[in-house]
Amino acid sequence: MSTLHIVNKSPFERNALASCIGHLGNDDAVLLIEDAVVAARDGSTVAPLIREALTNGPVYVLAADLAARAIKREGVIAGMKLIDYRGFVELAAQHARTQSWL
């Protein structure tokens, strides 16, 4: 039973991202949306956390929310995958359930 973990708050505001990454199962994936996309930017203090998640499985980020915050594709941590809203829908369909870390 795989889970898509959806994180929508900045890791500089709440610790939802760290909690989420601490609970990942083998077949799980993480998706960053809304303010959580700031975690995708390489060089910040939370980048090691994302790299840890990448050793477990895929970490996706909603491209529209990156663009809205002027975070360029080149500045995103290597290995992360950018998706659009249709990609978000397909990820939700591919995993057995979704967990929103509000």
> What type of residue is 56?
N
Does residue 90 interact with other proteins by CB under 8 A? yes
Q: List strand residue ranges (DSSP E) for 1-101, in order.
A: 3-7, 29-32, 59-62, 81-83, 97-101
Q: Which stretch binds other proteins (CB under 8 A): 21-29, 38-46, 74-82, 85-93?
A: 85-93
Does residue 92 interact with other proteins by CB under 8 A? yes
Token duo for residue 5: 């973990």
The residues binding other proteins (CB under 8 A) are: 6, 8, 33-35, 64-65, 84-86, 88-90, 92-93, 97-98, 100, 102
